[in-house]
Amino acid sequence: MRRYSQQKRFLFAVDCIIFGYDGQELKLLVIQRSFEPFKGMWSLVGGFVSETESAEGAAARVLKDLTGLDGLYMEQLHSFTDPERDAVERTVSIAYFALIDIKKYKQQINEDYHPAWFPINKLPELIFDHTKIVELAKEKLRYNAALHPLLFELLPAKFTMPQLQSLYQAVYNAEFDKGNFNRKLLSTKLLLKLKDKDKLNSKKGAFYYKVDIKKYSAGFKSFLNFVPSQHVNSVL
């Protein structure tokens, strides 16, 4: 194999920010680091990119190793290139964020990683620059969720409007008026009302809804500017 002369080598890695929703709170999945430095401390899920794979392929592999599943919603976030970001040696990392329904995938999570879910606004101290990575991922999630209905990726097959409102409030760390929230969501025509109700969390019961897959797949134009601009931090 030919190589460029007089060029130093460095490591290439991926880090995965995994957001999950359990029906009550938006959470982040982190693992306990199994080796030094910082052994036993909390870390994002990640790994090194091999010579035979792309960054996207490496991120998908890392997610499958952890969850046992393919096809999770995944989006590239940013590249992190600070020469001092890794205490061991120069490591460039491309970060991806993924969205999963915690209840759906709970049984598949690989316990070998010593994983734990933390509320997104009550995170433990993370190694290296992982806190910075998470904060940027939160901003990107807020920005994208205001334009497109990607938060539905976090929900079970059927859900209630209170559950959906709780999710949006967790993402934006803000309160939304119930009437306005319901009206704007229903105006997108992306939801189908079901006949059954959730009677466990209220006496009256709340109707279940599901996503209209055809409209969801066709495009997101009806969802533009759903969230008020004052709640969105632009990352452009």
Q: What's the CA gap between 56 and 225, in Å, rounded?
A: 29
The strand ranges marked E within 22-114 are: 26-32, 42-43, 45-48, 73-80, 91-101
Instruction: Say whether pLDDT at 76 is over 80.
Output: yes
- Cα–Cα distances in Å, from 93 out to 18, 40, 63, 137? 16, 21, 16, 14
Lowest mean pLDDT among 45-49, 111-115, 154-158, 216-220: 216-220
In order of their start, the domains of the chain are 11-147 (3.90.79.10), 152-230 (1.10.10.10)
135-162 pLDDT, tens digit per residue, is 999 999 998 888 888 899 899 889 999 9
pLDDT at site 128: 96
Give the Å distances, CA to CA, from 20 to 25, 73, 81, 103, 126.
8, 11, 27, 9, 18
User: CA quadruple 69, 75, 81, 86: dihedral positive or negative?
Assistant: negative
More reliable by pLDDT, 34 or 12: 12
pLDDT at residue number 204: 80
Name every residue whose Cβ is closer than 8 Å to that of residue 181 and which is 6 or more positions away in sequence: 161, 165, 168
Q: What's the token pair of residue 21?
A: 């929703």
Report the pLDDT averaged over residues 59-87. Answer: 91
pLDDT of res. 132: 97
- 3-19 mean pLDDT: 91
Q: Which pLDDT score, from 0 to 100, does residue 83 have? A: 95
How high is the pLDDT of residue 13? 97
Reported as type and span, the H/E element at residue 17 is strand 11-21
What pLDDT score was predicted for residue 54? 97
pLDDT band at 126 (very low <50, low <70, confident <90, very high): very high
Q: What region does 25 belong to: left with phi over 0, alpha with psi -120 to 50, or beta?
A: beta
Residue 178 has pLDDT above 80, yes or no: yes
Identify the pLDDT of residue 179.
94
Tokens, residue 55: 């960054």
Residue keyed to tokens 């059927």 = 158
For the chain, give the mean pLDDT.
87
| C-beta of residue 70 within 8 angstroms of C-beta of residue 60 | yes
pLDDT of residue 22: 87
